[in-house]
Structure 1
Amino acid sequence: MITRRVLLGTGAAVVGAGGLLTVGHLTHRLDDVADAVGLDPKPLPDPADTRIVRRAARACATLLTTVEAAAAANPGVDLAPVAAIVREQLAAVGGSPATTASLAPVTLDALEQALSNAAADRAADAVDAGSAALVRVLASMSAGQAQCARAVRRLA
């Protein structure tokens, strides 16, 4: 049989622990507490950041298709470095290349515009991202795409 003291003591301990957890959650210190006791907390990804990454991956796959179409339409122009950069960016956001069943010819001007638009879109995504790591990736993608647009402009 449980005595009243044991029951009250257990109840007080549970309420106290719950209160500490609530305060830790509200002050964003739960990860610090878990780390202090030897646990390795893994934060859940922000759903908004997940959507941003998916959007960036789709856009990057489309951009790679555009670069490949421009390379096919302009065989005398070396677009391999641009394609390599876009492939690396696609891998950075976990995307996979889109299927390129039939590539419509793309002019260098259209490619430059696509790269400039992509750079602006990734910069906007970086502003909206919550994770500092994602902000860095998106800002880097934006800068790389802007540089690729400048390189294509010089080639045209």
Structure 2
Amino acid sequence: MELDLWIPIIVWLAIGAVIAFYLYRLMDKEGKVEIIWVVIGFLLSVLGLMAFIGARSMKEKDRDKAVDPKSYQPPEYKLKEEAPKEKAPEEKTPVPAPEPTPEPKKKEVKQIEGIPRCPECGSAISSSDVRCRDCGAKLKD
């Protein structure tokens, strides 16, 4: 009964040893042995071999990089350009005082009975609103 459990484990490790040996010889022939692939091939057996083949094909096609550096252009940032400042003449000219701005006119809105309105802008408001949604005027004290 105990032997039944060990047979698949021994077969798995035997296949893993063959695959690890194959991977070692293949990489040795190429001149670059990566021990991690040998260990992965031994422990994961056929799955390790499939991972090695997949990673190797990606490297050969240069797909291991997220973006192909040859086709990638660095981004161009467009900053808000300030208007060129004209040099003021060296003579000082008196600056006129700014004129007071007139108060904005209230919107004339047709009043419908039963709909509360903002006293500043005339937009419809709820009876529970503390501030107007449009102009931000304080409605309740």
TM-score calculated relative to the size of structure 2? 0.25
More helix by share: 1
Name the larger-Rg structure.
2
TM-score calculated relative to the size of structure 1? 0.23
